[in-house]
Amino acid sequence: MTEMATSGWHPHLWHPFTQPGRGPAPIPVRRGQGVWLELDDGRRLIDGISSWWVTLHGHGEPCIAEAIGHQAKELEQVIFANFRHGPASTLSTRLCGKWDGLDRMFFSDNGSTAVEVGLKMAWQHCQREAPERQQVIAFDGAYHGDTFGAMALGERGLFSAPFEPLLFAVARAPWPATWWGDESIEQKEAQALQRLDELLQTPTAAVIFEPLLQGAGGMAMVRETFLQAVEQRAHAAGALVIADEVLTGFGRSGSLFASHRAGIAPDIVSLSKGLTAGFLPMGVTLASERLYQSFVGPEPDRTFFHGHSFTANPLGCAAAVASLELLEREPQRYTSIEARHRPHLERLAEHRLVTKPRLLGGIAAFELPGDSGYLQPIGLEVQRLALEQGLFIRPLGSVVYLMPPLGINDGELAQCYASLQTVLDALPL
Ligand code: PMP
């Protein structure tokens, strides 16, 4: 290891998705307030990607901090296999109330486990009800998390390569990603649906996708009508539909949930990230009553034998309830966010380096010319230049995107785009 590579790195911490031999050391930060991160050295940065898409309203959102503080004095944790508590009951009632036909909620700890739980529910249900259904279908470019089941569902590549022999087989359909001015979309969608039809000839337990937007796969957006066609075909074939809304949930897509915006009715929905407004790690999986009932009966093997120590942590539940209430009180936080981004992205899209611009709710993305792929060094260069401008972003290779907290004000949003403009002007391309 070279001096350069190790300098600035902590002697005991091991960071996720970072390579000490390649990138710059993580930045010491001391405080977060609204969209702002205050660094140990006194600098201030706009958190342009909501800290890996979790910080929903803004850092330190007072009503959520207060709800957590209040709950901590009442009940901080209790074993959920034997007890239930008010914050969990309230959250389940309020969240299930947002969905037609999803009346059950199962807790876990993060996005990956929310997906794992959804898959295990679907699989165990089929083992009992329709054991011939042995296939799971996911999409090219998908990312569903880093635990083994979630990893198996995701696109295979750099991240999953060392584990390949341990991952179960998944059938895969194309993901017809689109952008402003895309002229080949009809053809891409037709091909994707044709492949899906072929795959669905095999008895299928579940079809899983990230509704409207693949996040880690490159902020790849699809049309609502495409998802409707997928849902209709999956259901017609008797497969369960799992919507991974870990990223798109809670207003990110411009609707409370991307499935609502797309007009689809999944059987299982995985949620995390914005669930607690980014204050605490928690995941939930929603399921239909019909699915739940197939797990109910005197036979022990009907039980869903899955659980985590921190299941339904009351602090997380209190944060989630407070965040939902805030979204209910001020729906314009998410309903108006796309219109607020649009003029800025339209202007940026005129830049000679911007290709494939696209926008969904509070998520704006574009690509830089050249090769795509997570390891493209241009992403690190863009990140470095943006930091100089006081903007923290984390491009996915050559895909640059903004996803600031919903509480961002107009001036701060304009500042994000002005910084990006400066970065693009400075790029040696
Ligand atoms: N699903 C999607 C769509 C995600 O974007 C992510 C995280 N980026 C996950 C699942 C996994 O969530 P977590 O990192 O909380 O395990």
Summarize pLDDT for 161-193 with one digit per residue, the tens: 999 999 999 999 999 999 999 999 999 999 999
What domains does the chain contain, in order, with CATH numbers? 3-60+336-426 (3.90.1150.10), 75-329 (3.40.640.10)
- Whole-number Å distance, alpha carbon 143 to ligand 1 midpoint, is 7
Q: Is pLDDT above 60 for 3?
A: no
* Ligand 1 in reach of 111 Cβ (< 6 A): yes
- From ligand 1's centre to the CA of 29, what distance in Å? 23
Return d(Cα 370, Cα 354) in angstroms, integer.
Answer: 11
Question: Using one digit for the tens of pLDDT, what is the confidence trace for 196-243?
Answer: 999 999 999 999 999 999 999 999 999 999 999 999 999 999 999 999
13 CB-near residues (< 8 Å, 6+ apart): 26
Q: Strands across the sheet with 355-360, in order?
A: 355-360, 363-367, 399-402
Q: What percent of the chain has pLDDT over 70?
A: 99
Confidence of residue 2 (pLDDT cuts 50, 70, 90): very low
Encode pLDDT of 249-275 as tens digits: 999 999 999 999 999 999 999 999 999
What does the pLDDT read at residue 372?
78
1 has a pLDDT exceeding 90? no
Atom of ligand 1 nearest to the CA of 54: 15
| 216 alpha carbon – ligand 1 mean position (Å) | 8
Lowest-confidence pick of 21-25, 133-137, 190-194, 349-353 = 21-25
Residue among 190, 192, 205, 102 nearest 153 (CA): 205
Pocket test for ligand 1, best of 52, 144, 399 (most atoms within 8 A of CB): 144
Rounded to two decimals, the pTM is 0.97
Q: What is the pLDDT of residue 29?
A: 98
178 lines ligand 1 (CB under 6 A): no
Q: What is the pLDDT of residue 375?
A: 78
pLDDT in tens, 87-121: 999 999 999 999 999 999 999 999 999 999 999 99
User: How many whole angstroms from 42 Cα to the centroid of ligand 1?
Assistant: 31
Section 344-371 average pLDDT = 96
Residue with token string 């296939």: 135
Sequence-distant (≥ 6) Cβ neighbours of residue 188 within 8 angstroms: 174, 176, 177, 178
How far apart are the CA of 41 and the centre of ligand 1, in A?
31
Q: Which of 108, 147, 151, 247 to mutate to test the pocket of ligand 1 (most atoms within 8 A of CB)?
A: 247
Residue 311 has pLDDT above 70, yes or no: yes
Pocket test for ligand 1, best of 115, 139, 213, 285 (most atoms within 8 A of CB): 115
Give the mean pLDDT of 34-51.
98
Q: Is 210 in the pocket of ligand 1 (CB under 6 A)?
A: yes
Please check whether residue 338 is in contact with residue 310, taking contact to mean a CB–CB distance below 8 angstroms: no
pLDDT at 370: 83
Q: Using the mean position of ligand 1's atoms as its centre, give its distance from the Cα of residue 92 in Å.
A: 21
- pLDDT for position 6: 63
Indicate if the pLDDT at residue 429 is higher than 90. Answer: no
Q: How far is the CA of 154 from the centre of ligand 1 (A)?
A: 11
Residue 387 has pLDDT above 50, yes or no: yes
Tell me the average pLDDT across 358-368.
98
In a mutational test of the pocket of ligand 1, which residue from 56, 272, 310 has the highest number of ligand atoms less than 8 Å from its CB? 272
Do residues 217 and 177 touch, judged by C-beta distance below 8 A?
no
Q: What is the pLDDT of residues 415-424, one digit of tens each?
A: 999 999 999 9
Ligand 1 center–CA 347 separation, angstroms: 31
Question: Could you tell me if the CB of 245 is within 6 A of ligand 1?
Answer: no
Annotate the chain with three-state secondary structure: CCHHHHCCCCCCCCCCCCCCCCCCCCCCEEEEEECEEEECCCCEEEECCHHHHCCCCCECCHHHHHHHHHHHHHCCCCCCCCCCCHHHHHHHHHHHCCCCCCCEEEEECCHHHHHHHHHHHHHHHHHHHCCCCCEEEEECCCCCCCCHHHHHHCCCCCCCHHHHHHCCCCEEECCCCECCCCCCHHHHHHHHHHHHHHHCCCCEEEEEECCCEECCCCCEECCHHHHHHHHHHHHHCCCEEEEECCCCCCCCCCCCCHHHHHCCCCCEEEECHHHHCCCCCCEEEEECHHHHHCCCCCCHHHCCCCCCCCCCCHHHHHHHHHHHHHHHHCCHHHHCHHHHHHHHHHHHCCCCCCEEEEEECCEEEEECCCCCCCCCCHHHHHHHHHHHCCEECCCECCEEEECCCCCCCHHHHHHHHHHHHHHHHHCCC
**What's the pLDDT at 4?**
45
Q: Is the CB of 110 under 6 A from ligand 1?
A: yes
Atom index in ligand 1 nearest the CA of residue 283 equals 15
Of all protein residues, the one whose alpha carbon is nearest to atom 10 of ligand 1 is 144
218: Cβ below 6 Å to ligand 1? no
8 A C-beta contact, residue 254 and residue 361 = yes
User: What was the pLDDT predicted at 23?
Assistant: 78
Q: What dihedral angle (degrees, nearest 10) is formed by the CA atoms of 353, 359, 365, 367?
A: -40
248 C-beta closer than 6 A to ligand 1: no
When the pLDDT of each residue in the chain is averaged and rounded to a whole number, the result is 96
* pLDDT value of residue 183: 97
